[in-house]
Amino acid sequence: MEGKGCELCASAGGTVLWESGNCRVVRVDDPHYPGFCRVIWTAHVREMSDLPSAERQAFMAVVFGVEEVIRALFSPDKINLASFGNMTPHLHWHVIPRWHSDRHFPEPVWGKVQRDLPQPRPVVDDDRLRQALHEQLSTSR
């Protein structure tokens, strides 16, 4: 049953920006939230506590590295970190830049839309985001 029918086992889960043997960072294609990334564990694992301690620490170092890059490139008002796995029980973290004027603020991005027309958001191309992630993650690991 492991990985059978799992969308994160069957596909990348977004545009791959960085990857190692254990995990990958993908950009989520959401025009309202530029810089929205997922950090996905490669093997089909359901919970953080299923990983050995060293792998948990390495995984979280990537999550925090992605957060640092997003903060530097997009200057959001806040970063949301989320790991649910209710719909996709494959270990992954959402790293979401938030602005006070975004469509959902103060709700989560999966909550009720608060504003019909979001104000323009800073845009960073994939190559610049990819390069910043490579620089950050090669020095923090």
What is the per-residue pLDDT across 56-82, written as a single tens digit (0 to 9) for each? 999 999 999 999 999 999 999 999 999
pLDDT score, position 115: 86
For residues 30-59, average pLDDT:
94
Q: What are phi and psi of 131, to 5 degrees?
A: -65, -45
Asked whether the bond before 106 is cis by omega within 30 degrees of 0, the reply is: yes
CA-based end-to-end distance of the chain: 32
Whole-prediction pTM: 0.89
CATH homologous superfamily of 7-140 equals HIT-like (3.30.428.10)
For residues 24-49, average pLDDT:
94
For 25-36, what is each residue's pLDDT tens digit? Answer: 999 988 888 899
For 81-108, what is each residue's pLDDT tens digit? Answer: 999 988 889 999 999 999 998 899 999 9
